[in-house]
Structure 1
């Protein structure tokens, strides 16, 4: 019996110390694919992906950089997306932030090598420019119950700070029960000063992250369009759900518009991952939501996005766990206890 699934590709921050060696552990038989990525890196005088993954030690200072993290995450996520069990039918593909580039390849709108070129180019440009930064802050409590008023309050504070001379701050990603905010140092510091610390972790700065999905990235977007032509993009083989919740359908996609969105709006405007997941749930009603590796942190944002939509009557964290514990429908391939549920 076929199981339907939405494949979800993660973004930056998912290849950490526990993930070192992910390609060699899970995809040793795919070294031909990874070596084709190494060749693209070699052309740019960059360290091979296989060497980065096979290194003896992990350092945050090195592995959180865009020109290192992005290609590793792409290779791991795409290989995972291609390793799903034969009884799983992918009905749609989406991703978070940089995961959109991976989703394009997983859905067939970009070849594996061209997807790598897009990710490696954009990751390197982001790192070279490193304009602004990002932080994460929740608007839901420990129970994940929707708090519309608190979200509105936080976004009003962001707008207040952004209006101050010399301060840049904007919503970067709607990420389940979290807001990812991006801006310049003054803007980020003002938010940190204005909001209480919660859950012993937030507000949490993200190492080596630029002000993704804001107007500050306009120079990066322009350079990306200059380096990456629209001819790289083709028709997707699976429906693609972007960071606005828009669906790009196989056989009906304007590939020039897809290129324009990917290297335009997607880089400089807020990314609504929550809406992408809710669109996937409502439009495709899959049996499974499969988050490809590396890492498993995106699973929480997927779960929260479904709770915020009251999907199948799940209105809080307890309701999610009651459903998930009975028969797992959210599978993170980066978790050893769940991986076999997706790979068979």
Structure 2
């Protein structure tokens, strides 16, 4: 019996110390693909992905860099997307932030190697420029119940700070019950000073993250468009849901428009991951939401996005957990206790 699934690819911040060795542990059969990625890195004088993954030691300073994290996450996530059990029918693909680039490859709009070129180029450009930074702050409580008034108040404070002289601050990613904000140091610091610490860890800065999905990234977008031509893009073989909730369909995709979005709006405007997940749920109603590795942190944002949509009557965390315990609808491949639910035996 076939199980339908929406595949969701993660973004930055998901390859951490526990993930070191992920490619070698899970994807020995895909080393030829990874060596092709190594060759692309070699052309740019960069360390091989297989060597980075096979290193003995993980350091945050090195592995959180855009030119290191991005290619590792791409390789791990695309490998996972290719490792699904035969009874799983992928009805759509989406991703969070950088995960959009991976989704393009998982859906066939980019070849595996061209997808790697896009990810490696953009990750390297982000690291070279490192314009601004990011922080995360929740608008829901720990029960995940929607709090639209709190969200509106936080975004109003973001707009207030952004209007101050010398301050840049904007919504970067709508991430389930979280707001990912991006800006310059003055903007980020002003928000941290204005909002209380909640859940003992927020607002939380993200190491080596630039001001993704804001106007500050316009120079990176322009350079990316120069280096990466529209001819890299092809018709997808699976539907894709972008960071606006728009669906790109096989056989009906304007590949020039896809290139324009990917290296334009997607880089410089807010990314609505919540809407992408909710669109996937409403339009495709899959049996499963499968979050590819590395890591499993994106699972929470997927679950929160479904709760915020009151999908299948799930209005808070407890209701989601009860439904998940009954029959898993969300599977994170980066979790060893869940991976086997969706991979080939």
Q: TM-score, normalised by structure 2?
A: 1.00
Structure 1 residue 108, shift from structure 2 partner: 0.2
> Which residue of structure 2 lines up, in the alignment, with residue 240 of structure 1?
240
C-alpha distance in 1 between matches for 2:329 and 2:186 = 42
Structure 1 residue 140, shift from structure 2 partner: 0.2
> Which residue of structure 2 lines up, in the alignment, with residue 204 of structure 1?
204
C-alpha distance in 2 between matches for 1:149 and 1:125 = 37
Secondary structure in 1 matching 2:267: helix
Structure 1 residue 113, shift from structure 2 partner: 0.1
Secondary structure in 1 matching 2:341: helix
> Which residue of structure 1 lines up, in the alignment, with residue 78 of structure 2?
78
> Which residue of structure 1 lines up, in the alignment, with residue 256 of structure 2?
256
Structure 1 residue 16, shift from structure 2 partner: 0.0
Secondary structure in 2 matching 1:166: coil
Matched, 1:300 2:300: yes
Structure 1 residue 228, shift from structure 2 partner: 0.1
C-alpha distance in 2 between matches for 1:218 and 1:72 = 25
> Which residue of structure 2 lines up, in the alignment, with residue 340 of structure 1?
340
Deviations 1:100-149 (A, max 9, x none): 00000000000000000000000000000000000000000010000000
Deviations 1:293-339 (A, max 9, x none): 00000000000000000000000000000000110010000000000
> Which residue of structure 1 lines up, in the alignment, with residue 15 of structure 2?
15
Unpaired segments ≥5 residues, structure 1: none
Deviations 1:198-242 (A, max 9, x none): 001100000000000000000000000000000000000000000
C-alpha distance in 1 between matches for 2:125 and 2:267 = 12
Deviations 1:126-181 (A, max 9, x none): 00000000000000001000000000000000000000000000000000000000
> Which residue of structure 1 lines up, in the alignment, with residue 217 of structure 2?
217
> Which residue of structure 1 lines up, in the alignment, with residue 116 of structure 2?
116
> Which residue of structure 2 lines up, in the alignment, with residue 103 of structure 1?
103
Matched, 1:195 2:195: yes
1:13-52 alignment runs, 5 A limit: 13-52=13-52
Secondary structure in 1 matching 2:340: helix
C-alpha distance in 2 between matches for 1:342 and 1:333 = 8
C-alpha distance in 2 between matches for 1:330 and 1:187 = 36
C-alpha distance in 1 between matches for 2:274 and 2:192 = 24
C-alpha distance in 2 between matches for 1:160 and 1:16 = 35
> Which residue of structure 2 lines up, in the alignment, with residue 177 of structure 1?
177
C-alpha distance in 1 between matches for 2:179 and 2:293 = 22
Q: TM-score, normalised by structure 1?
A: 1.00
C-alpha distance in 2 between matches for 1:3 and 1:31 = 28
C-alpha distance in 2 between matches for 1:80 and 1:332 = 10
> Which residue of structure 2 lines up, in the alignment, with residue 273 of structure 1?
273
Secondary structure in 1 matching 2:180: strand
Unpaired segments ≥5 residues, structure 2: none
Structure 1 residue 244, shift from structure 2 partner: 0.1
> Which residue of structure 2 lines up, in the alignment, with residue 94 of structure 1?
94
Matched, 1:324 2:328: no
C-alpha distance in 2 between matches for 1:263 and 1:342 = 32
Structure 1 residue 29, shift from structure 2 partner: 1.3
Structure 1 residue 292, shift from structure 2 partner: 0.1
> Which residue of structure 2 lines up, in the alignment, with residue 286 of structure 1?
286
> Which residue of structure 2 lines up, in the alignment, with residue 133 of structure 1?
133
> Which residue of structure 1 lines up, in the alignment, with residue 146 of structure 2?
146
Q: Which runs of 4+ in 1 moved over 6 A?
A: none
How much is the aligned-residue C-alpha RMSD, in angstroms? 0.3
C-alpha distance in 2 between matches for 1:31 and 1:83 = 13
